[in-house]
Amino acid sequence: MQQDEVPQDEKNLNEGKLAKLYYATDAKGHYTKVNSIGWEPETVAMEQAWDVVHAEVEAARQKVIAGKASPVLYYLKKNIMNVPMVAGYMGTLSVIVRLHMLPFFFHKLSQKTLERYAYTFRITVEELLDTEKLKDKHES
Amino acid sequence: MRANFTHRQSAHCENGVVSNLLRFHGLEFDEPMIFGIGSGLFFSYLPFVKLNGIPVASYRIWPGHIFKRFANRIGVKIERKKYSTPKAAMDALDSMLEKGQPVGMLTSVFYLDYLPAAYRFHFNAHNIIVFGKENGRYLVSDPVMEYTTDISPEDLIRARFAKGVPEPSGRMYYPVTLPGKYDLEKAIWTGIKQTSDHMTHIPVPLFGAKGMKYLSKRLRYWPDRLGDRKAIQWLGNLIRMQEEIGTGGAGFRFIYAAFLDQASTVLNNEKLFDLSGQLTKSGDQLREFAYYAGRVCKNRTSDTRSFSELAAMLEDCSQKEQQIFSELYQISKAK
């Protein structure tokens, strides 16, 4: 890639915080460093990955509202985690986390376990328990 | 307190941390040199190892190895530590900072809030340097950022003790002894030899230039095998592996080409410069691959023709790299 071919696509997801470093060649074929503010294919791939995440979060939200799953499922998806990862944070087994994703078991959780979940998902216990609020949090 | 530390941006986090840490200790190495001597370039496609249900393709060697190899070849001794509790890890960090020593560490990108939100997936092997603490916040030199930044202790603890695969477990590292004298020429040749050997001689079709060819073969049948939606998702993931933070396929080719360029000056070897030019072409082709793959993803229509065209591009890359690294192996073998 030549120095002047380093992509500078205005439409990017870097929020102006990041201009990545690229190695590119000068006229003689020797390498120099050039910053790039963004590149379309990369942005497309990232958007696509986030679309998948958003779709899963929305599906989880619907399930929680319908009473088929507990908020643990919603916040797990919201934080792009998976069950073994949450089990790691909770210091327990995956199967236990899976049970906690069912409303029946979720409603029996102790304050301590709830606090641990809240810490894992970086929210308060009140937020974790407040399923009403989920109703108007549409994920687009 | 803050260490007297100069931050320089790099394309890849591991190289950058090594480069910045060594500069603090008085050894000046540019990023490409570290990548080359540490034999960072590689290719592997592991269809049976899946992340979020998508097979892993990697354009470089496993995390941590660049530093290890580089340190062995130059003769830097590194102290590595891991911790079982956040408190022990943060106390150890604080006591290093008291001594004015910057420390490299493994973190999860998810909790580094100075990065743009779009990048913050659970990638648990991002390297950063912490070089001071001011007003209750840690000063951070993240090699992919242009400037230094800072982070709250809470977020740093979360980032250092993230769960998932791999777990950073508070890992941190810093050089303890530096070589008085080292043989740069020998280190460069050893680095080249290992990379070219691994790119061409591993007798398993998943690694090196062969791995690329294997991926191209599989890619051709993705739409038939997976259906359009999934095929496009997998393709998108492949570009992210190529270009995104912590990975970066074509980018790695360019860093390695830059290394060959610098090495040709150090060793006064014209052939290396020539090969650097050839590798640039392979990198360009990988970029083009990403460009067209991006188009396929964006239009959301996957017809088998474009997938087989993409596969052909990748196969061509594989041939180019097979040839480049065979030549490099021949040259470096004798040294």
Tell me, yes or no, whether A67 and A85 share the same domain: yes
Tell me, yes or no, whether A87 and A19 share the same domain: no
| Cβ-nearest to B145 among A15, A18, A48 | A18
- Each residue's pLDDT tens digit, A83-135: 999 999 999 999 999 999 999 999 999 999 999 999 999 999 999 999 888 88
A interface toward B at CB cutoff 8 Å? 1, 13-15, 17-25, 29-31, 35, 39-42, 44-46, 48-50, 52, 79-82, 84-85, 88-89
Tell me, yes or no, whether A53 and A119 share the same domain: yes
Going by C-alpha positions, the residue among B179, B180, B308, B332 that lies closest to residue B235 is: B308
* CB pairs A-B closer than 8 Å: 119
CATH code at position A98? 1.10.260
CATH code at position B134? 3.90.70.10
Tell me, yes or no, whether B169 and B298 share the same domain: no
Q: How far is A7 from chain B (nearest CA, A)?
A: 11
- CA A45/CA B292 separation, integer angstroms: 12
Task: State whether ipTM is beyond 0.85.
Answer: yes
Tell me, yes or no, whether A67 and A118 share the same domain: yes
Domain count for chain A: 2
B9: helix, coil or strand?
coil
In the block, residue with structure tokens 């201009």: A19
pLDDT computed for residue B304 by the predictor: 61
Domain count for chain B: 2
- CA B207/CA A12 separation, integer angstroms: 33
Tell me, yes or no, whether A32 and A61 share the same domain: no
- Each residue's pLDDT tens digit, A37-89: 988 888 888 898 899 999 999 999 999 999 999 999 999 999 999 999 999 99
Residue B3 lies in a domain: no
Tell me, yes or no, whether A26 and A90 share the same domain: no
Tell me, yes or no, whether A59 and A16 share the same domain: no
pLDDT computed for residue B161 by the predictor: 96
CB B104 within 8 A of CB B17: yes
Tell me, yes or no, whether A61 and A130 share the same domain: yes
For residue B97, the enclosing domain spans: 77-177
Tell me, yes or no, whether B211 and B156 share the same domain: no
- Test A18 with B32 for CB contact under 8 angstroms: no
Buried b (16+ CB within 10 A) or exposed e, B55-75: bebbbbbebbebbebbbebbe
Residue B2 lies in a domain: no
Residue A139 lies in a domain: no
Q: Who's near A112: CB < 8 A, 6+ residues apart? A: none
* pTM reported for the whole predicted model: 0.92
Tell me, yes or no, whether A31 and A89 share the same domain: no
pLDDT computed for residue B246 by the predictor: 39
Give the pLDDT means over successive 10-residue stretches in chain B (335 positions).
90 93 94 96 91 84 91 95 96 96 95 93 91 96 95 97 91 93 95 96 95 94 90 87 59 94 96 96 90 82 75 94 96 88
Tell me, yes or no, whether A30 and A51 share the same domain: no
Tell me, yes or no, whether A78 and A125 share the same domain: yes
Tell me, yes or no, whether A20 and A72 share the same domain: no
